[in-house]
Amino acid sequence: LFRTEFMFLDRDQAPSFDDQLADYTEMMRPFAGRKVVARVLDAGADKPLPFLNDADEPNPALGMRGIRILREREPLLRDQLRALHEAAEATGVELWVMAPMVSTPSEAAWFYELAHSVGIPHVGAMIEVPGAALQASHVLDACDFASLGTNDLSQYLFAADRLNGGLADLLDAWQPALWQITKIAADAGAASGKPIGMCGEACGDPLLALLAVGAGVQSLSMALPRVPLVRASLARHTVAECEEMLEAVLAANSPTAARRAVHSLVHPELKQVL
């Protein structure tokens, strides 16, 4: 996941098309011939921007953020999409672009139309709002791929502010309900034949990554330092074992019970490093 917010933070106005093109080109150059999944600007809530967000919005996490604000500022989104597309063409990158905070299939369809109109070949939706997860088959009908954002999906599933450390128990990625809703979305992905990935923090955990595989998630995005342990974990388990772990989590009634059930099924070599 290439989060593009870095281009927009700490500014009092949006970066120009030319500025964006220069920066995206520099960032994509090392990925020539490979795939890059970029997320368009996710402003609002935990990532407010002075030139886009209303500082007096009473409940920003439930208000104007992600695709909601981009729909109101279509020229800004169009510029970003054009800059991403031109940077990919210039560097030989296979560009996939997705929208944050999609809540409905019609939002996904709107984004798909716009991104295709500027020439982007792979257009997707992030699934991080429970309504979008429940409607994942229709969301996928409206675009090319989807990616589960477990950070926000947890926040909205449990009505628990992700910035509030006092709510960490609700935001625990071992919550069985998070995996129930993940499974619903991943099943929709499998039925549609379209790719569904995961890009929240959860899948950078060597055990939670196994659950994602067990649910049928096909690609995992994580911070670079997490890769070796997740890779080691995946290499030591079959898909059938991952599915068994997921079943155990879906049957659990708490994060503690879920974690315990998975630990009992983990390969002994992995237990030594956890």
E strand or H helix at 196:
strand 196-198
Q: Judged by CB, which is closer to ligand PEP: 52, or 199?
A: 199
Residues in contact with Mg ion, total (CB under 5 A)? 3
149 in contact with Mg ion (CB under 5 A)? yes
Q: Determine phi and psi for 258, rounding to 5 degrees.
A: -65, -45
- Work out how close the CB of 43 gets to Mg ion at its nearest, in angstroms, rounded to a whole number: 12
Residue type, 133: A
Give the DSSP letter string of 237-248: S-HHHHHHHHHH
* 251 C-beta neighbours (distance < 10 Å), count: 11
Q: How many helices (H) and strands (E) does the chain have?
A: 14, 7
Of 160, 170, 146, 109, the closest CA to residue 221 belongs to 146
Q: Judged by CB, which is closer to Mg ion: 103, or 233?
A: 103
Residues 73 to 132 in contact with Mg ion, rule: CB under 5 A: 128
Binding site for ligand PEP (CB under 6 A): 1, 3, 42, 128, 149-152, 199-200
Residues 31 to 70 in contact with Mg ion, rule: CB under 5 A: none
* 16 C-beta neighbours (distance < 10 Å), count: 11
- Work out how close the CB of 47 gets to ligand PEP at its nearest, in angstroms, rounded to a whole number: 7
Q: Judged by CB, which is closer to ligand PEP: 151, or 218?
A: 151
- Work out how close the CB of 225 gets to ligand PEP at its nearest, in angstroms, rounded to a whole number: 17
Tokens 């290499």, residue located: 235
Instruction: Single out the residue of 152, 196, 198, 212 in contact with Mg ion (rule: CB under 5 A).
Output: 152
Q: Judged by CB, which is closer to ligand PEP: 189, or 200?
A: 200
Which positions touch Mg ion (CB under 5 A)? 128, 149, 152
